[in-house]
Amino acid sequence: MIYKTITNYKEASKDFLENEKQFHLGVIPTEQSNPLTKNMSYIIAENTAEGIKTILSADVNIPSVTKNAFKTPEFKGFVDDIYKAIINKKKILFSSVGASGRMALQLDATWRKFWTDLCLKLPVRRSQFIEISEITDSLMTGGDRALVRAVENFEDYMTFGRQQVVEAGVGPGDVVVGLAECGLSASINGSVLEAIERGCTTYYLFCNPEEILCKHLDRVRVVFERKDIIKIPLYVGNMAVAGSTRMQVTTVELLAAGAAMEVACWRWLKENLSEKELEAVGATALELGEYSDEFQKLLDKLSAGAALKGLASAVDLETETYNQNGLVTYATPEYFIDIMTDTTERQPTFTLPPFRKFNDKVSPISWAYIKNPLYPNEVAWQHVFRRPIRGLDWTVEDYIRMKAAQDIVNKPPKVGTTEVTDYVIGNEDDPSRYSRKPSRLICIDVNGSANQKAVQWFKENATKFSEGVAIRLGNIPSKKIAEHEIHIPVELPNTLMDLLPHLMVKLTFNLLSTATMAKMGRVWGNWMVQVLPTNKKLIDRSTRIISFVSGLPYEKANEEFFYSFYNRKPEDEYRESYVIETLKRLGFEQKDRIE
C-alpha cells in the first residue's frame, strides 16, 4: 500500500500536498471530465444503447487527429524507420506503463504473430520471416507480470525504465517507441532517455497538449527539451471516463502505431515477394489516411443497428450477472491479449478484485477472467507474448542501486519471471470460476475465430456453469455455436495484421466493461468514483473527484481521502472505493445529474 511508512493520515495528506505537486493533475485535459459524456451513468441507467453511444462519442476526434498525424514528416519517418529496421534486422522496442504498457506488449505480440503465421503460407521463406518476427520487443513498467495485475509505484522511477531498456539490449540503429498519456510516468521517460543515449532512433507518442505538459510537469520537460527524441502528438481530447486512459489514449496509440507497422510491412513485402506470393499473403495495407476513414466507419457501425443492439445485450447480460454476485469467464483462442488487457484494467479502474493465482484459495475471486480453450497454461502463455516471459528478477542490491523507496527495498514486489504462469489462463479446469451462481462461460468468436476444437471445449465445460453464451463479433458465420448467442456484426477490411479487428475488439470490450460498471453505479456522471488508488496519480484523481462532488477545497478533500485510506481494514480493500466511502461519510450520494 502507498504511504506505508507514514502512520498518521494528517501527516500523509500534508506530505502529498507539499511534496507531490507533480501528481496534482487537474490541469491535464485527459484528467478532466469530458462534456460529451458528463451524464453517461444517468443516460445508461435509463437506456443501455443510448449510454453506449454516449461512451463512443468520446472517440469523435480520433479519425481527424490520426489523419493529420499521418501527414507529418515525423510520422512518415516513423514508418520509414520501421521499414529500415526490417531491412537491417534492427530492434523495434515498444515501452510504456499501465494501459499503454499493455498496448506495447500487444503491438509486439501482433507483429510476431503476423510473421510466424506467414510461414504457413510461404514455407520456403520461413527462416526469413522468423528472423523478421524477432525484431520487435516490448517492455512494460513492472515487467510482464503487470499485464495481469498492476504494480504499485514502479512508474515513479526513471531508473527502473532505464534498467529495463539496458536489459532489452538495444543500441545504435534500433528503434525505441515510448507510448505516453501525459509524460508523468518517470519510467517511460527514463526508458526513452536511456534509448537515445544508447544511440537508438527514439519516438515519443503522447496524448496531451505539449504546452500544458511542459508548463506544469517537470518530469516531461526532460523529454521535450531533447531535440533528438522525435515527438508525435496524438491529443484526441478528454477521456470518456475522466482520467481513464485505457479508453481513447490507448485506442489512438493502437491505431497510429498499428497503421505504421502495417504500412512498413507491406512496403517490404511488395519489394521482396513475387506477385504470386503477394497473392498468397491474402491481405494488404491501406493508405495511411484510409486507416482513419475505416476507424470512423467502425465507430459508425458500433453506434447503430444490429451492432449497437448486440453491444447493449452484452452489457445487460454482464450487468445482470454481477448484480446477482455472479462470475464471468471469457474463452477465446484469438485476440486473447486484447481481451485480457481490458479484463485486467477493470480492477484499478473500478475497485474490483484482481486476477488471483490458481493455488490461491483465500483472495477474492475476480468478477471476470479469461481462458484459452486450446492449450494448457504453459503453452497458453506462449501464445500471449509470443516470446519468452520477461519478469523483473531484480535483487535488493538492484533496488538500492536504482534508489528505490525503502519499503520496496525492504519487501521487493513479486514481479519475477515465474510469477506470471501462476495465473492459470489455459484450458485446465478451474472450479473457482463456477463457484458462485450465476456463472457464465462466454465464448468470444471474432470473425469466425472460434474453431471446432475451441467450440468443443466450450460446450463440454459450459455444463459446469450456469450458462454458456457466445458473443460473436465482426463477420459472423451462419452456423450456431451456442444456444444463447449475442451478435455484434461489423464488416471490416482485411489488412495484414488485422488492425481493424483488433480495434473492434478493443472498443467492444472497453464499452462492455465501462458500460456495465456505469449501469452498476460504479461511475458517477463520467467520473470513476470506484477508482482503486494504486499510485500517487490515482490519489490525486480520487481527491479531485471528492472535491468535485462535495465542493470541498482540494486540500480538505485530500485529507478526507487519507482519513478513509488509513481507517480501512486490509480485508475490506475491495469493498468499495475510498472515494465512495468518503463521499458517503460526508453525506453525499450519487443522485443528481451534472449540469
The helix/strand/coil state of 191 is helix
The helix/strand/coil state of 587 is coil
Residue 205's DSSP bridge partners are 179, 232
Q: What is the pLDDT of residues 576-589, one digit of tens each?
A: 789 989 998 998 87
What pLDDT is attached to residue 186? 93
What pLDDT is attached to residue 342? 96
| Radius of gyration over every alpha carbon of the chain, rounded to an integer in angstroms | 23
Confidence of residue 286 (pLDDT cuts 50, 70, 90): very high
Cell numbers given for 412: 521487493
Report whether 56 contacts 511 (CB < 8 A): yes
Q: What is the pLDDT of residues 365-401, one digit of tens each?
A: 999 999 999 999 999 999 999 999 999 999 999 999 9
Q: What is the mean pLDDT of residues 415-438?
A: 96
Report the b/e string of 261-281 with b at 16+ CB within 10 A.
Answer: bbbbbbbbbeeebeeeebeeb
Confidence of residue 530 (pLDDT cuts 50, 70, 90): confident
Q: What is the mean pLDDT of residues 47-60?
A: 98
Q: How far apart are CA 397 and CA 180, in angstroms?
A: 29
Identify the DSSP state of 242: B
Q: Where are the domains of the chain?
A: 9-33+527-585, 62-300
What pLDDT is attached to residue 536? 86
What pLDDT is attached to residue 340? 97
Q: How far apart are CA 51 and CA 312, in angstroms?
A: 9
**Percent share of the chain, pLDDT over 90:** 85
Q: What is the mean pLDDT of the chain?
A: 94
The helix/strand/coil state of 382 is helix
CATH number of 62-300: 3.40.50.10490
How many other C-beta atoms lie within 10 A of the C-beta of residue 366?
A: 25
* Phi, psi for 211 (deg, rounded to 5): -65, -35
What pLDDT is attached to residue 324? 98
Sheet with 175-179, side-by-side order of all strands: 136-140, 92-96, 175-179, 201-206, 229-233
Check whether 90 has a pLDDT greater than 60.
yes
What pLDDT is attached to residue 553? 95
354-358 contact pairs (CB < 8 A, 24+): 354/148, 354/149, 354/150, 355/148, 355/149, 355/423, 356/423, 356/432, 357/422, 357/423, 357/424, 358/422, 358/423, 358/424, 358/428, 358/430
Q: What is the mean pLDDT of residues 539-560?
A: 92
CA distances from 194 to 165, 205, 253 (A): 7, 16, 22
How many other C-beta atoms lie within 10 A of the C-beta of residue 8?
A: 12
Query: Regarding beta strands 467-474 and 92-96, do their DSSP bridges make them parallel or antiparallel, or are they unpaired?
Result: unpaired
Q: What is the pLDDT of residues 456-489, one digit of tens each?
A: 999 999 999 999 999 999 999 999 999 999 999 9
Check whether 212 has a pLDDT greater than 70.
yes
What pLDDT is attached to residue 538? 87
Q: Which of 572, 585, 567, 583 is nearest to 524 (CA)?
A: 583
Report whether 546 contacts 75 (CB < 8 A): no
Check whether 426 has a pLDDT greater than 90.
yes
Q: What is the mean pLDDT of residues 502-510?
A: 98
Q: Which of 266, 296, 453, 433 is nearest to 365 (CA)?
A: 433
Q: How far apart are CA 225 and CA 1, in angstroms?
A: 34
* Phi, psi for 508 (deg, rounded to 5): -60, -45
Report whether 5 contacts 153 (CB < 8 A): no
Check whether 591 has a pLDDT greater than 70.
no
Check whether 243 has a pLDDT greater than 90.
no
What pLDDT is attached to residue 22? 83
Where helices occur in 362-447 by DSSP H, the ranges are: 377-385, 396-401, 406-410
Confidence of residue 21 (pLDDT cuts 50, 70, 90): confident
Q: How far apart are CA 448 and CA 310, in angstroms?
A: 16
* Residues 6 or more apart whose Cβ sits within 8 Å of residue 93: 136, 137, 138, 139, 165, 168, 170, 174, 175, 176, 177, 195, 200
Check whether 557 has a pLDDT greater than 60.
yes
What pLDDT is attached to residue 295? 98
Cell numbers given for 401: 542501486
Within 13 Å, how many C-alpha atoms sit on residue 291's CB side? Answer: 35
Q: Which of 114, 88, 294 is nearest to 173 (CA)?
A: 88
Q: What is the pLDDT of residues 337-356, one digit of tens each?
A: 999 999 999 998 888 999 99
Check whether 568 has a pLDDT greater than 70.
yes
* Phi, psi for 331 (deg, rounded to 5): -130, 125
Check whether 441 has a pLDDT greater than 80.
yes
What pLDDT is attached to residue 338? 97
491: left (phi over 0), alpha (psi -120 to 50) or beta: beta
What pLDDT is attached to residue 25? 80
CA distances from 6 to 16, 218, 360, 537 (A): 11, 25, 30, 18
Q: Which of 358, 414, 374 is nearest to 391 (CA)?
A: 414
Q: What is the pLDDT of residues 184-197, one digit of tens each?
A: 899 999 999 999 99
Of 76-80, 90-94, 525-529, 534-538, the poorest mean pLDDT is in 534-538
